[in-house]
């Protein structure tokens, strides 16, 4: 590996940095976007059950808010009822939508950075290719003498060009794949949260009307 880095020259170092950053972002997103952290399967049913007859205690609501992203959205509706037991359905929806936007922002965190790496890595590889070609043509200049460039100079220029092109694609392709995967995962979670919040708003509205 060290011999490849040496053969690729200095242009490969930005690509190495991008690859390490991409790996760190992928690991962090896999950890943060687990289902139990975003939308546990039975959480909505549990929230509906504990608030079937009345608004649960503040301790229960706080526990719900710290459970997951979905719990945070649901808890915001319950807290709105604490502040104003007669609040309208539109106010409940506005409160939960605001909480949902905060959750969506957290779920989309670092995805733009991963997309930037996927877009920039081929360009960095192209930069290394251009630098390698410059070295090749520079070795053919008249100052190189009548004998022209040495095979070692030509080989170095070619290796810089090819290694950087290949490494740029090796960084870009997995980054693009993971970005699309995480983008689809976030979209699916957002749909789940939206449907759950809509059902919970109707539940809270009926609970408010009954009280």
pLDDT in tens, 102-152: 999 999 999 999 999 999 999 988 888 888 777 777 666 555 454 555 666
Of 88, 64, 85, 87, which Cα lies nearest the Cα of 75?
A: 64
Count how many domains the chain has.
Answer: 1
CB atoms within 10 A of CB 113: 15
pLDDT in tens, 189-210: 999 999 999 999 998 888 776 6
> Would residue 57 be called left, alpha or beta, if left means φ above 0 and alpha means ψ between -120 and 50 degrees?
beta
The predicted model scores a pTM of: 0.83
Task: Give the per-residue pLDDT at 150.
Answer: 63
Domain enclosing residue 49, as ranges: 2-210
**Spatial separation of the C-alpha atoms in residues 37 and 76, rounded to whole Å:** 17
Burial annotation 170-188 (CB, 10 A radius, 16+ → b, else e) = ebbebbbebbeebeebbee
Contact by Cβ (8 Å): 2, 151: no
């Amino acid at each position: 590996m060290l011999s490849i880095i040496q053969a690729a020259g200095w242009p490969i170092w930005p690509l190495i940095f991008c690859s390490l950053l991409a790996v760190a972002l992928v690991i962090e997103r896999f950890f943060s976007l687990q289902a139990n952290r975003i939308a546990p399967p039975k959480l909505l049913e549990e929230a509906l059950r504990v608030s079937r007859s009345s608004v649960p205690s503040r301790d229960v609501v706080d526990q719900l808010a710290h459970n997951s992203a979905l719990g945070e959205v649901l808890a915001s509706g319950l807290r709105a009822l604490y502040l104003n037991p007669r609040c309208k359905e539109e106010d409940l929806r506005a409160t939960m939508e605001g909480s949902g936007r905060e959750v969506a922002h957290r779920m989309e965190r670092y995805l733009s950075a991963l997309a930037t790496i996927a877009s920039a890595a081929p360009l960095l590889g192209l930069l290394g290719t251009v630098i390698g070609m410059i070295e090749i043509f520079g070795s053919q200049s008249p100052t190189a003498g009548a004998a022209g460039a040495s095979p070692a100079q030509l080989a170095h220029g070619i290796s810089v060009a090819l290694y950087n092109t290949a490494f740029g694609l090796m960084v870009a392709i997995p980054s693009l794949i993971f970005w699309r995967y995480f983008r689809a995962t976030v979209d699916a979670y957002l749909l789940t949260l939206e449907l759950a919040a809509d059902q919970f708003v109707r539940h809270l509205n009926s609970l408010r009307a009954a009280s």
